[in-house]
Structure 1
């Protein structure tokens, strides 16, 4: 999950903090060059902006590379003789890598042009994937190497998310934000969780994980090149002399400012706390245990695992597309939180599944119920968080949401060994629903959403 004035921004995001900057003026002119009289489907309106067309293409390529990477990583661990414990170690390393620099990443996103951050992250990820591809193909790989690489790539992701979140409102009009979040919510699952994993499963099955890593590296390079086409925009805040003369002290001050904003904003605090607990109980089972359920209990292999991920992605794409095609719901906070809670219920089906197709169907429903609320969440942050705080709040979202992810990854294997796979899935399916209801009532979200509507009637 993972950025306010309460209510819509009074100034179009593409013009905030950009006066006098030639490059950003060019972006603003492009954003304002809407095709009059031509009505596009609501979900496609962001493509009137040329800058976003390049960004969307880069996002699609990056999502594909990530989808190939994650499946190849799982089966590389298995190729090396690893089990749930070893896969937990590799996944935990990635989660810890994300967690450590998350707060600093928000400060950087509010101080450094976001395009430069994203280019650096894309370069690091491409090199990391290329290294693993070489080591796997040469049979020189090891579990500890995979853990180190995923740790580094996780650190890159920590910087990517707040920079991307802070950059997006500077590139497109506010009226297109919900459509953008819906389109991206469709692209990530379709390409990152369906097409990418499907290709990876086929390549791993026909050749090897090393070949799949090579595919991910090549497509990652394409994403890097395309990203250079997106115009650079100026940061949307004014830095005083204290930031230059006392960079460390001012960085901590920036972190405190973002944290204080989160604490005094009930809808934000309640949602992030709920997300943390939800991730604690469901992320480990989703990422670590399902591959071994397929392999050890249902007699499946890499192709079956890729089908489950593809179903999750297709369901997510449909959920995102549906949300992008309608107006913002009046009860957006309630729908968002309860929707995420209900999205975990398909774990109950997975717990009793005796056929792979049952897991595939449950994954599709889960994907839809997770992705539709994510469209609301992204739009909510971009519209209710002040532009000068957006990077830091996005990083706090990232930090708080994933703070328990390493524990979830680390516990998934041992807990499943102790109480069984099915009982672990039962817990993952029931607990988030209860926590979602508690968070909604405790933070008085129904009253807040009526006081701060995000749609005009």
Structure 2
């Protein structure tokens, strides 16, 4: 890697706040991945039901419906404070699961209940951390900062998947959860080390009494801001389609795919999950180094490749081929999701960032809907037919969005393609 590329990738760390937020996000993401893999495997092995597995995965995203409200809260009290409170909540809930596991009282029902409670808050973590990055970083470093921030999830999925599977297999769920609680707690402490801005968010001139306004009015304004801005509206639609039709096969359904399609165990599941994350990590690093890309065009091209590789994944049956395919799936989804985040943060007015990212998190609700529908379809027509249907439909609808907003997304001189 050249000195220039290295400097480009490391530039965000010159900002003191970023040096605390990045490891805080990393530890939290690591705990997320360990927890998802461990609990998903526990529910599947205890119940043997793919429908309950998809229900478990869906409950993790119940909070997407209230994500815009949390965006309003973040704009009012500050994104740092909101993020710290959310991560303290993860610590308490994980400690509860740890206690149940160590005392022998853990059951699938308790797992589903606690995951549902955590799911009220957890889906907003990505959006709030993105809004905080946009607050603490100069605008000319935003692509690099968001790309490097994305590596926290990618590296966590590699290490979290492998270490989570290893700890579960070697020590059992109770000791594995001791590590998860420690990660959440340390992530909370590091988040509190970020120095909050003097004002939680910039309030427009003449906005006297803004703090006395109804939160629902703030929410309506945020949704209207997204809906009336063509570039953001198109990006939100593509994010919704990806969550509905693409993510189910690399997220909630992966334990089922590992066991029933490829006939492998916890270690194989760890390798499959880690391969997706390795590809995603390479994509994040590549974009942080290269920079200066036409972001909207990249979003369209990367999303199309993502769906094409899912079509291939639906028809292969060997673990090595699946690992190679998931590498490419992870690479393309990383470029797609980073592009969407950059488009939203560049286009949104500064005092709307929390609400815009709240709307962005709202579309994650497509994931539990896609998971539940996929679980029912797999029982009826099988994995291959279901995955093929999802990938083909997602690709067709994404291209329809790109065609509808082609002026805002494809033209070289469109603001979304500014370098």
TM-score (norm 1): 0.85
Residue 171 of structure 1 is matched in structure 2 by 136
Q: Is the 8 A contact 2:61 2:122 kept in 1?
A: no
The residue aligned with 2:318 is 355
Extract unaligned runs of 5+ from structure 1.
1-36
Contact residue 316 and residue 370 of structure 1 kept, 8 A: yes
What SS class does the counterpart of residue 230 from structure 1 fall into?
Answer: coil
- Superposition deviation, residue 159 in structure 1: 4.2
Within 5 A, what are the aligned runs for 1:7-46?
Answer: 41-46=7-12
Partner Cα separation in structure 2 for residue 74 and residue 372 of structure 1: 27
Match of 2:261 among 290, 297, 304: 297
Equivalent pair of 1:278/1:431 in contact (CA under 8 Å)? no
What are the residue-to-residue correspondences of 1:56-455 with 2, within 5 Å? 56-96=22-62, 98-191=63-156, 193-233=157-197, 234-238=199-203, 240=207, 242-245=209-212, 247=213, 250-330=214-294, 332-399=295-362, 401-444=363-406, 445-446=408-409, 450-452=413-415, 455=418
Figure out how many residues of one structure are paired with residues of the other and give that number: 413
CA contact (8 A) 1:285 1:424 kept: no
SS in structure 1 of the partner of residue 332 of structure 2 = helix
Instruction: Write the distance in 2 (CA, Å) between the matches of 1:306 and 1:39.
Output: 31
* Alpha-carbon separation, structure 1, partners of 2:254 and 2:366: 19
The separation in 1 between residues aligned to 2:367 and 2:41, in whole angstroms, is 21
1:235 is paired with a residue of what secondary structure? Answer: coil
Structure 2, unmatched stretches of 5+, are none
Q: CA RMSD in A?
A: 2.1
Structure 2: how far apart are the matches of 1:51 and 1:274?
31
SS of equivalent to 2:193: coil
SS of equivalent residue, structure 1 residue 345:
helix
Q: Which whole-Å CA distance do the structure 2 matches of 1:214 and 1:105 have between them?
A: 29
2-structure distance, mates of 1:372, 1:406 = 23
Aligned position for 2:16: 50
Quote the Cα distance in structure 2 between the aligned partners of 1:55 and 1:386: 23
Q: In structure 1, how many angstroms separate the alpha carbons of the residues matched to 2:262 and 2:224?
A: 48
Q: In structure 2, what is the Cα distance between the partners aligned to 1:359 and 1:307?
A: 10
Which deviates the most, 77-86 or 384-393? 77-86
Q: Which residue does 1:15 correspond to in 2? A: none
Cα drift, residue 39 of structure 1: 9.0
Distance 1:409 1:447, change over 3 A: closer
Per the normalisation by structure 2, the TM-score is: 0.92
Of 335-344 and 45-54, deviating more is: 335-344
Q: CA deviation at 1:453?
A: 5.6
Q: How far, CA to CA, are the matches of 2:112 and 2:411 in structure 1?
A: 43
User: 2 CA distance for matches of 1:316 and 1:370?
Assistant: 7
Question: Quick one: structure 1 residues 370 and 283, their matched pair in 2 at CA, closer, same or farther if it must change by over 3 Å?
Answer: closer
Give the Å deviation of 1:131. Answer: 1.1
Deviations 1:47-86 (A, max 9, x none): 1112211111111111111111111111221342342111
Moved segments of 4+, more than 6 Å = none
- Identify if the C-alpha distance between structure 1 residues 269 and 38 changes in structure 2 by more than 3 Å, giving closer, same or farther: closer
Q: 1:78, 1:454 → 2: CA distance? A: 44
Q: CA deviation at 1:165?
A: 2.6
- Asked whether the equivalents of residues 81 and 192 of structure 2 are also in contact (C-alpha less than 8 Å), the reply is no
Give the direction of change, closer, same or farther, for the CA distance of 1:224–1:145 in structure 2 (3 Å limit).
same
